[in-house]
Chain A
Amino acid sequence: DSGVTQTPKHLITATGQRVTLRCSPRSGDLSVYWYQQSLDQGLQFLIQYYNGEERAKGNILERFSAQQFPDLHSELNLSSLELGDSALYFCASSAFTGGWMYNEQFFGPGTRLTVL
């Protein structure tokens, strides 16, 4: 158990819909990362938040957005869903303190999204 929790575990929805994935980081971790894992694309870095602020952006689509709340939990919002958005979405947290170098990330169990 990494200490990172994600809900829900599974989500099945239809194209065009909007969903919200939730992540609670390990106690004390200020940094949260979101990743998308699909069979053909591997693990894709989407976005990082540090202490409530967006810090780095990866390959995140405009239809996707995220935020980190004052209690440090984070939500990833996926809208206008397409079949190709079906994937495993991981959240990770770390003790990153805002410097230049990332450190060990602890991954949650993931949310499996299926878009029909």
Chain B
Amino acid sequence: GQQVMQIPQYQHVQEGEDFTTYCNSSTTLSNIQWYKQRPGGHPVFLIQLVKSGEVKKQKRLTFQFGEAKKNSSLHITATQTTDVGTYFCAGQVGDKIIFGKGTRLHILP
């Protein structure tokens, strides 16, 4: 079936280091959303990308949508302890939303 693969599954970084998570789809996506879930919390919307090759920035976070609309990435510059959590991508295919399994980010002080 349709899948959105997200890597890595886990990432440990030192505070201040950069972090990147990647999503890849076997199918062209209408759009992709990114969510963050803090430990014990619920997913919180970060951003939506719609256009091929789109790049959006939110402070230290940079989101990209691939030219073929099959992949996306989230890059965090100079991580902080507040960045801890699991980052999910969610791609729309037709009328379905397919979430990646998430990347759990641990920050080492």
B82-108 CB mask vs A (1 if < 8 Å, else 0) is: 000000101010011111111000000
B104: min CB distance to chain A, Å: 11
Q: Is B44 engaged at the interface, CB distance under 8 Å to the other chain?
A: yes
**Chain A residue contacts of B27, Cβ below 8 A:** none
Instruction: Given A104-B48, A106-B45, check contact A45 B98 (CB 8 Å).
Output: yes
Q: Is the CB of B96 within 8 A of A101?
A: no
**Chain B residue contacts of A45, Cβ below 8 A:** 96-99
A23-41 CB mask vs B (1 if < 8 Å, else 0) is: 0000000000101000001
A53-89 CB mask vs B (1 if < 8 Å, else 0) is: 0011010000000000000000000000000000000
Chain B: residues with Cβ within 8 Å of the partner, total of 22
Main secondary structure of the interface of A (DSSP, over half): strand
Closest B residue by C-beta to A42: B101
Q: How many A-B residue pairs have CB under 8 A?
A: 57
**Chain A residue contacts of B44, Cβ below 8 A:** 2, 107
Q: Is the CB of A33 within 8 A of B33?
A: no
Q: Is A14 engaged at the interface, CB distance under 8 Å to the other chain?
A: no
Q: Is the CB of A42 within 8 A of B92?
A: no
Q: Which of A101, A104, A105 contacts B50 (CB 8 A)?
A: A101
Q: Which of A43, A101, A108 has the most CB of B within 10 A?
A: A43
Q: Which of A42, A90, A100 contacts B100 (CB 8 A)?
A: A42
Q: Is B31 engaged at the interface, CB distance under 8 Å to the other chain?
A: yes
**Chain A residue contacts of B90, Cβ below 8 A:** 43
- On A, residues with C-beta under 8 Å from B are 2, 33, 35, 41-45, 48, 55-56, 58, 90, 92, 100-110
